């Protein structure tokens, strides 16, 4: 089934709750078709019912066979994919030393390797179409890291690097890439299901990562960002002729990015002579 210009087909990972669910809801409200994926597709139908424009599908981003089956089902049902939203992911809170190797590997498997698996599976269809948009969910933490979120932010830094490269590789093929950088939005992200607290706690980090861990509990479900407004912006973005490479979302994200840029500019100026001294003499 071919879609008209104003009826796009969305493929969304992690669509059962949070930002993924809000984007799915906004896309359906706009009259688009949505392939909404989750590990348990019943969570999709529990939330959205079974409208004709919705295809709920089981997807574990860490299982490439599961990914391939979901993409095949999407194309079989709707004939194309116009917008890929790589949203599935979770966080881990703790100091770098506190977070154990198996915890690090698990979060990278979902946030980075899972995103890559889904993207690689969808790209042949987008290349065939010579059209499409990939939206990769990063975070303000993909631009600026900090205590307590170092491992989570490292996965989002990877998403930023992947997105920059994809942007350059796919632009000549008519495929756009935007990395979304939300600040704190009022979802369940900081709750136990989405932001796992490390089991190991080291007292020496009480004033750094420990304070961040406590703050995360205090602000959970009180964040300033409105996920419904975010979702509406994302649906409008999918209709833009020239979507940006990066889109910060929320005034807190804007402030954090401006502060990081100012710090980098100041430090580069302070150490410019040292940096330049490492070239071979001219």
Active site residues: 138, 152, 156
Structure tokens at 20: 């993924």
CB 238 within 8 A of CB 30: no
Structure tokens at 123: 């790209």
Q: Which of 66, 142, 149, 152 is nearest to 106 (CA)?
A: 152
Q: Which of 114, 115, 183 is nearest to 149 (CA)?
A: 183
| Cross-strand bridge partners of residue 185 | 225
Q: What are residue 279's phi and psi, to 5 degrees? A: -75, 155
Q: Which of 151, 62, 66 is nearest to 109 (CA)?
A: 62
CB 95 within 8 A of CB 21: no
Report the C-alpha gap between 50 and 114 in whole angstroms: 27
Q: Half-sphere exposure of 20 toward its Cβ, with a 13 Å CA cutoff?
A: 28
Structure tokens at 239: 């209709």
DSSP 83: E
């Amino acid at each position: 089934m071919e879609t008209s210009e104003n009826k796009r087909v969305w493929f969304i990972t992690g669509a059962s709750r949070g930002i993924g669910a809000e984007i799915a809801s906004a896309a359906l409200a706009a009259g688009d078709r949505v392939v909404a994926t989750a590990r348990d597709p019943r969570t999709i139908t529990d939330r959205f019912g079974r409208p004709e424009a919705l295809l709920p599908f089981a997807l574990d981003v860490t299982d490439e066979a599961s990914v391939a089956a979901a993409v095949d089902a999407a194309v079989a049902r709707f004939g194309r994919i116009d917008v890929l939203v790589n949203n599935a992911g979770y966080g881990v809170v703790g100091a770098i030393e506190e977070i154990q190797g198996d915890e690090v590997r698990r979060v990278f498997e979902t946030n980075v390797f899972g995103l890559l698996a889904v993207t690689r599976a969808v790209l042949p269809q987008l290349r065939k179409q010579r059209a499409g948009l990939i939206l990769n969910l990063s975070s303000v933490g993909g631009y600026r890291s900090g205590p307590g979120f170092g491992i989570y932010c490292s996965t989002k830094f990877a998403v930023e690097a992947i997105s920059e490269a994809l942007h350059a590789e796919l632009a000549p093929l008519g495929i756009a890439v935007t990395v979304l950088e939300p600040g704190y939005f009022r979802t369940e992200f900081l709750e136990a299901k989405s932001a796992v607290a490390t089991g190991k706690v080291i007292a020496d980090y009480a004033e750094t990562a420990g304070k961040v861990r406590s703050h995360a509990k205090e602000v959970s479900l009180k964040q300033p960002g409105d996920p419904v407004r975010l979702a509406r912006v994302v649906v409008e973005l999918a209709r833009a002729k020239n979507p940006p490479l990066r889109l910060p979302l929320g005034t807190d994200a804007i402030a954090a990015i401006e502060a990081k840029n100012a710090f980098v500019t100041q430090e580069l100026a302070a150490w410019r002579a040292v940096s330049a001294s490492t070239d071979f003499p001219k």
